[in-house]
Structure 1
Amino acid sequence: MNQRLSKHTLLLLAALLFTSSLAAAIWFVRFVYTGSYTFIFLLWNLFLAWLPVLFAQLARRQRASRLGRWLWGGLWLLFFPNAPYLLTDLLHLGQMGRVPIWYDLIMLLTFALAGLFLGFASLFWLHDLVSKKWNQVTGWLFVLVVLGLSSFGVYIGRFLRWNSWDLLLNPTVLLRDLADHLLVRGQFLETAVVTVLLTAVFIASYFIIFALPPQLARLEQ
């Protein structure tokens, strides 16, 4: 059983690496064509999207202590929003011309999908860990809470321009800025709507991906 899980994990990691490499290659072709470092921030955002994968793997190791799992799990939760955050980079479409807009659309979509797949893969691993540690209901509650928090985190990153590590380095300033932002009625409404919509999209997407393996297994029988 462990061997099968190990092979599955390696296959999934290989697929994630391929998708990320494809995104980076598309950016590199754009760089060669234009000679401009435009959109180089996508590479940094993609790197940040890989951190939840690393932390999830460290948290689910069989030899990990209870304290270690809480530590790696906490870091995973802190950096998890960086993965779906790549979806919001689609807002840059059409803002930085010099190549056909369809090329930038494909590039941004590839980065967005890579980030989403990285996030969902790491979430799936910890979802499985929580379900085995407690039960299925707790596992799904964990998923819903994480996706809700990550949607809020994506909003903070995109609209308030805060980073994951600011919660550790500048917690007081971050919380004060967030409180000032939410006290304005219009901004509070915007925050709520964006967070709810993103949460709904993430939950629907995760449900579809989670449901695919059993369906594919039935087709093979």
Structure 2
Amino acid sequence: MTQSPTKHTLLLLAALLFTSSLAVAIWLVRFVYTGSLGFIFLQWNLFLAWLPVLFALLARRKGASRWGRWLWGGLWLLFFPNAPYLLTDLLHLGQIGRVPIWYDLIMLLTYALAGLFVGFASLFWLHDLVARTWNRVAGWLFVLVVLALSSFGVYIGRFLRWNSWDLVLNPTILLRDLADHLLVRSQFLETAVVTVLLTAVFIGTYFIIFALPPQMAVVREQ
């Protein structure tokens, strides 16, 4: 028997909360063991990764006005790169503290997966909203554009150290810094390669996740 959208959403939110809570629990064990606040920034990054979920739920809630959906959708797009950004925190492996590297690897992977799952869940909800509002082609074009933009956003955040809100609070400085960066050939190539590779990885991952429900339905029926 299929679940109603409300039950499916609640089940997915519960799974996302479990994964995020597991990540925080692993960090807390590390904190108790070492007494060090190393990797404390992961909590902030995970919080930012959850904001797109809030905005996506507000955008697709029953009775939302067209302008309300545009507002929440715009905020969702602004903060969405913070979710896959957690993948890049793997760069900190081996840089903080005296904990065995395998423990930190598991911790960082858990945060990375939590961020990726949270982000893709919110993307799936808005993908569905766009497809129902227009059509399936528009829905998939939306996904491809969002994943390309978010890959570029991850690059800006990791390499240029800008935040989502800087696009609103410091747009002129951000754009000037970005323009200066892209005018250097080696930095332009770096930007292009990182953005293209991340886009390919995100698209492939989303396709796999998108294709799983029908396969799981077959398993449940057996």
Q: CA–CA distance in 2 between the matches of 1:25 and 1:190?
A: 36
> Which residue number corresponds to residue 115 of structure 2?
115
Which residue of structure 1 aligns with residue 188 of structure 2? 188
Take 2:208 and 2:107, find their aligned partners in 1: how far apart are those partners? Answer: 24
Alignment of 1:118-197 (within 5 A): 118-197=118-197
Alignment-mate amino acid for residue 148 of structure 2: G
Counterpart mapping for 1:80-99 below 5 A:
80-99=80-99
Between the two proteins, the alignment pairs up a number of residues equal to 220
Pair 1:21-2:18 in alignment: no
Unaligned runs of at least 5 residues, structure 2: none
TM superposition shift of 1:216: 1.1
In 1, the alpha carbon distance for the partners of 2:166 and 2:53 equals 20
Q: Secondary structure at the match of 1:95?
A: coil
- CA separation in 1, counterparts of 2:47 and 2:181? 29
- 2:49/2:83 contact within 8 Å kept: yes
* Shift of residue 166, structure 1, vs aligned partner: 0.2
Partner of 2:210: 210
**Equivalent AA in structure 2 for residue 116 of structure 1:** L
Q: Contact between 2:38 and 2:97, CA under 8 Å: does it hold in 1?
A: no
Query: TM-score, normalization: structure 2?
Result: 0.98
Q: Distance in 1 between matches of 2:55 and 2:46?
A: 15
- RMSD over aligned CA atoms reads 1.0
Residue deviations 1:116-136 (CA, integer Å, cap 9, x gap): 000000000000000000110
Does 1:76 find its partner at 2:76? yes
Instruction: Provide the C-alpha distance between the structure 1 equivalents of 2:155 and 2:146, rounded to a whole number of angstroms.
Output: 14
The residue type paired with residue 43 of structure 1 is Q
1:43-96 CA-partner distances (Å, limit 9, x unpaired): 000000000000000000111100000000000000000000000000000111
What letter corresponds to residue 164 of structure 1 in structure 2? Answer: S
Structure 2 match to 1:31: 31
Q: Which runs of 4+ in 1 moved over 4 A?
A: none
The superposition leaves residues 98-148 of structure 1 with CA deviations (integer Å, 9 ceiling, x where unpaired) of 100000000000000000000000000000000000110110000000000
Share of identical aligned residues, percent?
Answer: 86
Residue 219 of structure 1: how far off its partner (Å): 2.6
- The alignment status of 1:48 with 2:52, answered yes or no, reads no
**C-alpha distance in 1, partners of 2:76/2:220?**
34
Aligned-partner Cα distance in 1 for 2:214–2:184: 46
Quote the offset at 1:97 in angstroms.
Answer: 3.1
Looking at structure 2, the residues matched to 7 and 216 of structure 1 have their Cα atoms a distance apart, in angstroms, of: 17
- SS of the residue corresponding to residue 4 of structure 2 reads helix
| Structure 1: runs of 5 or more not aligned | none
TM-score (norm 1): 0.98
State the Cα deviation string for residues 133-164 of structure 1 (Å, max 9, x = none): 01101100000000000000000000000000
Structure 1 Cα separation of the partners of residues 60 and 196 of structure 2? 29
Q: Tell me how far apart the structure 1 counterparts of residues 69 and 4 of structure 2 sit (CA, whole Å).
A: 23
SS in 1 for 2:98: coil
3-state SS of 2:54 partner: helix
Provide Cα deviations, 1:6-31, integer angstroms capped at 9, x if missing partner. 00000000000000000000001101
